[in-house]
Amino acid sequence: MSPPTDAADDPFERFRAVFDEALASGMENPNAMVLATVSADGRPSSRVVLLKGFDERGFAFYTNLESRKGLELAGNPQVSLNFYWRELGRQVEIRGTAERVSDGEADVYFASRPRGSQLGAWASRQSRPMASRAELMAAVAKIEARYLGRAIPRPSHWSGFRVVPSSFEFWVAGTFRLHKRTLFERSSDGWRSRLLFP
């Protein structure tokens, strides 16, 4: 019998257990996570992005580097990720530093995307003002014509980030709001955990 999802001493193992549970549940987008960043003038912003892979190095997602989040990450790589699986009564917050993935990793992931998503990565001037939807669709058509019958290469302004965690907080829903919160913090000799009041 496998241990409960909140029993592992290693935060990556604990995350993998609850993430596998979310995947097995059949819920839509179990890999959705809220990414919070901070602008140069200290204003926070957040948006939902999709986790595209994780291992002991960290948690990877992909984006337009010229988008608001891309520019904010370039100015301040300190971020927070939040996963909330309502159906499981589970939440995980991860704080850490975002680092660019290698060009090779970005190329491999970009090549795995649907062709329409590849076209969109070229056509969208993400986060910038747009006159009308027709402007975007015209840009898509132009890129589609350029690469007709050919593989679409990854644009130089599109890549990924890996969030290297400094802490994990695991939240488990409890009755009467007596939730269980466990904080893991990175130390020089591994991870240290402690319970927090709900």
Helix (H, G, I), strand (E, B) or coil at 49: strand
The string of pLDDT tens digits covering residues 52-107 is 999 999 999 999 999 999 999 999 999 999 999 999 999 999 999 999 999 999 99
Residue whose structure tokens are 């602008």:
39
Indicate whether 174 belongs to any domain.
yes
**Tokens standing for 198?**
């709900």
Indicate whether 97 belongs to any domain.
yes
Helix (H) or strand (E) holding 105: helix 103-112
Q: Which residues are annotated as catalytic?
A: 177
DSSP secondary structure of 80-103:
EEEEEEGGGTEEEEEEEEEEEPPH
* Residue 3: pLDDT band with limits 50, 70, 90: very low
Contacts of 136-139 with C-beta under 8 Å, sequence gap 24+, read none
Query: 0.85 cut: is pTM over it?
Result: yes
Indicate whether 90 belongs to any domain.
yes
Residue 37 burial (CB count, 10 A)? 22
* Residue 4: pLDDT band with limits 50, 70, 90: low
Instruction: Give the domain CATH number at 78.
Output: 2.30.110.10
Indicate whether 137 belongs to any domain.
no
The string of pLDDT tens digits covering residues 107-139 is 999 999 999 999 999 999 999 999 999 999 999
Indicate whether 172 belongs to any domain.
yes
